[in-house]
């Protein structure tokens, strides 16, 4: 069986303008040669600091951005060069939810009308069944039916995210790109939204690309996790393997910043990350992580490591090879 989504050598480079004539003086390599695939029904967590290109990657998959190079195969069809018109029918099966759904909810419209709009525009249900369908969507995301008469500003952040999710599932999608859907929410609400997404995944057989900046957010919902740094995937593995035996120093550092499930884990096992993220307009030569890596050697400054290793792939010349819960993880 082919994967539901397959990304091959995707590149998203933005020109940087400068000088008196606003000429292109360089390129921001937001996404630089990324390949990955998603099987139907799974959740791939995509983690990295802000500016690493994870949102750009997510937005390019649903074609809110135009990739410069590479292929995006969705249901075995290359949609990477589709026009917006050609994308329209595909979008029903390929949805995105955002960190702040409020910005995409028309403040002058009632929730019932907001949820009815795609049903009407895309002729998803008959006119006579629209009100019933809106109520069914509210049920599915755990909101009272009476809320259909309210306006967006009357809702909390968590409730607005439920509305964003209701709108996404109204299309009966196969894949939903979840772009940091819980980052702006209170911790207590985050778990509720994660549970809702998990329940809907089971009921509707959804596939998720779940984007987050913290590794803790992807722990429960993901089946696999990919770690991104400066436009590149640096490690990808089954969640268990990644959390128990991370191979890339950056993954190890992200995990050490995440509260350990075992409080006896000694704090001296934590490694601190050095410095800021370099500019993606001018990424370091060799391994892009070498300016911050505590293990960097001469070779790392010269030679770019490739992502290799099959099911647990890593892009590092000196991958770590111990379990996190043992002494001396290197």
Answer with the entry of Mg ion, ligand SF4, none that 200 interacts with (C-beta below 5 to 8 A by kind): none
Least distance (Å) from Mg ion to the CB of residue 55?
A: 3
Stretch that binds ligand SF4, among 57-65, 118-126, 175-183, 293-301 (CB under 6 A): 293-301
Tell me which DSSP letter residue 292 carries. T
How far apart are the C-alpha atoms of 124 and 132, rounded to whole Å?
13
Q: Which is nearer to ligand SF4, 72 or 226 (CB)?
A: 226
How far apart are the C-alpha atoms of 181 and 323, rounded to whole Å?
31
Strands 94-97 and 69-74: unpaired
Answer with the entry of ligand SF4, Mg ion, none that 138 interacts with (C-beta below 5 to 8 A by kind): none
Answer with the entry of ligand SF4, Mg ion, none that 300 interacts with (C-beta below 5 to 8 A by kind): ligand SF4
How far apart are the C-alpha atoms of 45 and 42, rounded to whole Å?
10
Out of 255, 296, 307, 313, the only residue in the binding site for ligand SF4 (CB under 6 A) is 296
Residues 6+ apart with CB under 8 A from 24: 15, 16, 17
| Residue 228 binding ligand SF4, by CB under 6 A | no
| Residue 151 binding ligand SF4, by CB under 6 A | no
How far apart are the C-alpha atoms of 15 and 36, rounded to whole Å?
25
Q: Which is nearer to ligand SF4, 90 or 273 (CB)?
A: 273
End-to-end CA distance of the chain: 37
Residue 139 three-state SS: helix
Taking a C-beta distance cutoff of 8 angstroms, is the pair 317, 287 a contact? Answer: yes
Q: With DSSP H G I counted as helix, E B as strand and the rest as coil, what are the percentages for the chain, rounded to 5? A: 35, 20, 45
Binding site for Mg ion (CB under 5 A): 55
Out of 295, 309, 312, 324, the only residue in the binding site for ligand SF4 (CB under 6 A) is 295
Q: Which is nearer to ligand SF4, 155 or 250 (CB)?
A: 250
Site for ligand SF4 in 243-272 (CB under 6 A): 248-249
| Residue 290 binding ligand SF4, by CB under 6 A | yes
Least distance (Å) from ligand SF4 to the CB of residue 159?
A: 42
Tell me which DSSP letter residue 282 carries. S
Among all chains, which residue has been given the structure tokens 């049920």?
Answer: 139
Residue nearest Mg ion by beta-carbon distance: 55
Out of 74, 98, 243, 289, the only residue in the binding site for ligand SF4 (CB under 6 A) is 289
Taking a C-beta distance cutoff of 8 angstroms, is the pair 288, 280 a contact? Answer: no
How far apart are the C-alpha atoms of 154 and 143, rounded to whole Å?
13
Answer with the entry of Mg ion, ligand SF4, none that 316 interacts with (C-beta below 5 to 8 A by kind): ligand SF4
Q: How many residues lie near ligand SF4 (CB under 6 A)?
A: 13
Site for ligand SF4 in 303-322 (CB under 6 A): 305, 316-318
Q: Which is nearer to Mg ion, 217 or 320 (CB)?
A: 217
How far apart are the C-alpha atoms of 45 and 308, rounded to whole Å?
19
Least distance (Å) from Mg ion to the CB of residue 180?
A: 6
Taking a C-beta distance cutoff of 8 angstroms, is the pair 315, 289 a contact? Answer: no
Positive or negative torsion for Cα 323, 324, 326, 327 = positive
Least distance (Å) from ligand SF4 to the CB of residue 251?
A: 10
Q: Which residues bind ligand SF4 (CB under 6 A)?
A: 248-249, 287, 289-290, 293, 295-296, 300, 305, 316-318
């Amino acid at each position: 069986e082919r994967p539901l989504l397959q990304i091959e050598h995707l590149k998203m480079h933005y020109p940087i303008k400068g000088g008196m004539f606003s000429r292109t003086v360089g390129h921001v390599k937001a996404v630089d040669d990324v390949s990955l695939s998603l099987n139907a029904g799974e959740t791939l967590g995509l983690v990295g600091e802000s500016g690493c290109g994870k949102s750009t990657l997510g937005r390019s998959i649903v074609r809110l951005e135009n990739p410069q190079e590479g292929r995006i195969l969705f249901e075995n069809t290359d949609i990477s060069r589709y026009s917006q018109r050609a994308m329209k029918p595909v979008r029903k099966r390929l949805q995105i939810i955002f960190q702040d759904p409020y910005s995409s909810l028309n403040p002058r419209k009632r929730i019932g009308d907001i949820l009815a709009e795609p049903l009407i525009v895309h002729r998803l249900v008959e006119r006579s069944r629209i009100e019933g369908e809106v109520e069914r969507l509210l049920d599915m995301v755990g909101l009272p039916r009476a809320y259909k008469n309210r306006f967006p500003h009357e809702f909390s952040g968590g409730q607005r995210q439920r509305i964003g999710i209701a709108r996404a599932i109204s299309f009966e999608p196969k894949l939903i790109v979840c772009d940091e859907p819980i980052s702006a929410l209170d911790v207590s609400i985050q778990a509720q939204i994660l549970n809702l997404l998990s329940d809907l995944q089971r009921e509707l057989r959804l596939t998720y690309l779940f984007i987050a900046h913290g590794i803790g957010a992807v722990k429960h919902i993901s089946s696999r996790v990919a770690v991104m740094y400066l436009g590149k995937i640096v490690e990808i593995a089954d969640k268990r393997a990644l959390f128990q035996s991370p191979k890339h120093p950056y993954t190890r550092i992200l995990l050490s910043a995440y509260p350990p499930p075992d409080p006896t884990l000694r704090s001296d096992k934590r490694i601190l990350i050095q410095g800021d993220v370099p500019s993606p307009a001018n990424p370091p030569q060799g391994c892009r992580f070498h300016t911050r890596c505590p293990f960097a050697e001469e070779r790392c400054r010269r030679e770019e490591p490739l992502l290799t290793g099959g099911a647990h792939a890593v892009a590092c010349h000196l991958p770590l090879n111990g379990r996190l819960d043992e002494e001396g993880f290197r």
